[in-house]
Amino acid sequence: MIRSSRFIGLVALLATSVLGLSACGGTTKSGTVTILFGTAADSLDPGFGYTTQAAEPDWIVYTGLLTYRHAEGKAGGELVPGLAQSLPKVSADGLTYTLTLRPGLVYSNGKPVKASDFPFTLERSMKLNWGGKSFFTTNIVGAAAYDSGKASTISGIKTNDATGKITIKLVSPAKSLRPYGAFPNVLAFPSAGLVPKGTPMTNEPNSPPPGDGPYMFSSVTANKGYTLVQNPRFANQHIPDVPAGHIKTFNIQIVSTPQQEATQVLSNKADNFDPADEIPGSLLPQIQSQAGNRFKEVTTAQNFYFFMNTKTKPFNSQLVREAVVYGLDRPTYAKEAAGFLTPACFFLPPQIIGHPNAACPYGPADGSPNLTKAKALVQQSGLAGTPVTVWGENTSPRKEYADTYAQELNAIGLKATEKLIARATYFTTIGNAKTPNVQTGFADWQQDFPNPSDFYLLVDARSIQPVNNQNFGQVDDPHIQAALGTLYPVPASKLTTVARQWQGLDTYVAQKAYTAVFGYNKSPEFFSNRINFPSVIFHPVYFGDWTSWTLK
């Protein structure tokens, strides 16, 4: 017979455990969260996936040597060690990186993580033609040779499986076009998230390889949906800056109509609206009034601008370029984006170090266009009446931006005609030197990583190439080149020390009106009432940080 004290103790134990269970909301359903996406990931396989819809799940399934801090705002852009023990040791000339793998790491399938998995992962991403592989081929010694089939491994990476040591040699600055001070950011790409050696060298969208992260894929149907569950092996590896996550299961579904997505989240039938999708303007009033406590608009690191070809008429004239910026009708562009646009004039978005604090040189960012001043400047330049071809994409809202821009150009005294083409060939068309009349048109840039050098590719004279050019304005300014020469080599960890110089450069670019920036993207943070909204982290690089979500 159980003595009374022990009996009471037992009852107390039972009571607290019952109460504890209900406090967790512990029914089978509550551990599952449904997320709706309007567009499927290009592929969930980290060796191929490049879109935000792929990055969002991949960064918590595949951890790289380095990763980003799980925080909001500027803190979220900070690099922290992932599978590496600490941040890399960089040689004095900035060309040799040394890291050591943490001991005792395993993948979600139990296989141990080895140092040699790192070069294998990069080789696989290159074999699979990952859209950002140029970051590897231009920066790492021997990567380009591997990519073109001349070598069977990347000669610039040496690893020791016994000690876990990894040494990476970078291409010397004279040859490299790409920012090598920002190389640590390259190590944090989900495509550099380690996968086991021996994973097949083909894109596996339906059965992505195992990774070493807080979550893992449990079932995938490409283009229809997938499920993420917590990786039971992760918590024991005690990686300090990568949280294990709270939600047990994520159920992701592709629905394809933003209107349906929004209605379902509003009525709490689904839990999250993909931040990369647009909420239909007609539903916004309803959402703001009914769900104001679970809805927010966040500016992201993506700029929208009109490029102007500085090598041909009329935009080779600074006066005409200034006129264009004076005449930008930013309030209308914001309306055409249903309010998901922050009016702006500087090339670097606010989350990026180097975003100027100064006032806009040619009219306030949130003001109405100054057409009188613009017309006067065009007259002064003597180039009024010049025919101009305006390029744009033919899908909303980019189509509307191009239409409004063409209207503005006509209003300030130029003769604009539009050429709207399909998104699939847009950038390859305007980036091809053989395409005639690429004078001005729409362009945008979403950060690959939170470093200003990523954006400055677009105004760097050295990146001008005959095909796949991204410097559409053909900007070739010795002042910019000199500044980039000193700023590119600065290592990512020391970025804040050169913030003032980057700000100065960005202000200079705005004053020369090389790009007609009209805004930064705003994304919706929209949840059902099941999610604890204050605890949600909106990550500056990956948008939804799913490891931070908790249920109420």
Partner 1 sequence: MAVEPGVPAGTRLPGAFEAVPLAPEERHIAGIGPYRLALRRLRRNRVALAFGALFLLIVGLCLLAPIYSHDIAHIGPNVGEPNATVHVGGHTRQVLNANGVPIGPTWHSRFFFGADNEGRDVAVRLLYGGRNSLQIGLVAALLTIALATIVGLVAGYFRGIVDGVLSRAMDVIWSYPAVLLGVALGTSLALGGLDLGLFQVSGSSLGIPTAIIGIVYVPYVAKPLRGQVLGLREREFVDAARAQGYGSLRILVSEILPNVASTIIVFVPLIVANAILLEAALSYLGAGVRPPNPSWGTMIADGIHELPGAIHETLVPGIMLVLTVLGINVFGDGVRDALDPRATVRIER
Partner 2 sequence: MARFVVRRLISMVAVLVAISILTFVIFQVIPNGDPALRLAGRTATPENIASVRHAWGFDKPIYVQYLRTMRNIFDGSVISYTQEVNVEDQIRGDLPATLSLSIGAGVIWLFFGIVFGVISAIKAGRFTDRALTVLSMIGVSFPVFFLGALLSYYVGYKWGVLPQGNYVPLTQDPVGWLTHLIMPWAALSVLFIGIYARVLRNNFLDTMNEDFVRTARAKGLSERQVIIRHVLRNSLVPIISLWGLDFAAVIGGGAILTESVFNLQGVGQYAANSIQQLDVPPVLVITMFGAFFVVLLSAAVDMVYAFLNPRVRLSG
Place of tokens 């063409």: 406
The secondary structure of 314-366 as a DSSP string is TTTSHHHHHHHHHH--HHHHHHHTTT-EEE---SS-TTSTT---SPPTTS-TT
Q: Which CB, 425 or 535, lies closer to partner 2? A: 425
Site for partner 1 in 324-353 (CB under 8 A): 329, 331-332, 335-339
Please tell me the distance from the alpha carbon of residue 211 to that of residue 244, in angstroms, as a whole number: 14
427 binds, among partner 2, partner 1, none (CB under 5 to 8 A by kind): partner 2
Q: What single-letter amino acid sits at 353?
A: I
**Which span (307-315, 323-331, 463-471, 537-545) binds partner 2, by CB under 8 A?**
463-471
Kindly report the backbone phi and psi dihedral angles of residue 90, in degrees, each rounded to the nearest multiple of 5, phi listed first: -110, 135
Site for partner 2 in 186-205 (CB under 8 A): 202-203, 205
393 binds partner 2 (CB under 8 A): no
- Using the rule CB under 8 A, is 48 a contact of partner 2? yes
Binder of residue 207, out of partner 1, partner 2, none (CB less than 5 to 8 A by kind): none
Q: Does 399 bind partner 1 (CB under 8 A)?
A: yes
> Is residue 302 a contact point for partner 2 (CB under 8 A)?
no
Between 131 and 280, name the residue whose CB sits nearer to partner 1.
Answer: 280
505-538 burial code (b ≥16 CB/10 A, e <16): bbbbbbebbbbbbbbbbbbbbbbbebbebeebbb
Burial 297-321 (b: 16+ CB within 10 A, else e): bbbbbbbbbbbbbbeeebbebebbb
Cβ neighbours for 467, distance < 8 A, ≥ 6 positions apart? 428, 431, 432, 433
- Sheet containing strand 215-221, edge to edge, reads 215-221, 225-230, 249-254, 32-37, 272-273
134 binds, among partner 1, partner 2, none (CB under 5 to 8 A by kind): partner 2
Q: Is 419 exposed, middle or buried (0-12, 13-18, 19+ CB in 10 A)?
A: middle
Please state the closest distance from residue 124 (CB atom) to partner 1, in A.
34
Which range in 144-152, 308-316, 324-332, 345-353 contacts partner 2 by CB under 8 A? 144-152
Taking CB under 8 A as the rule, does residue 92 contact partner 2? no
Residue 466 binding partner 2, by CB under 8 A: yes
| Binding-site ranges for partner 2 (CB under 8 A) | 42-43, 48, 50, 128-135, 137-138, 144, 147-149, 177, 202-203, 205-206, 221-224, 254-257, 259-260, 422-425, 427-429, 432, 435, 448, 457, 465-468, 470
Which residues would be at the binding site for partner 1 (CB under 8 A)?
259, 280-285, 329, 331-332, 335-339, 368, 394-396, 399-400, 403-404, 407, 418-422, 425
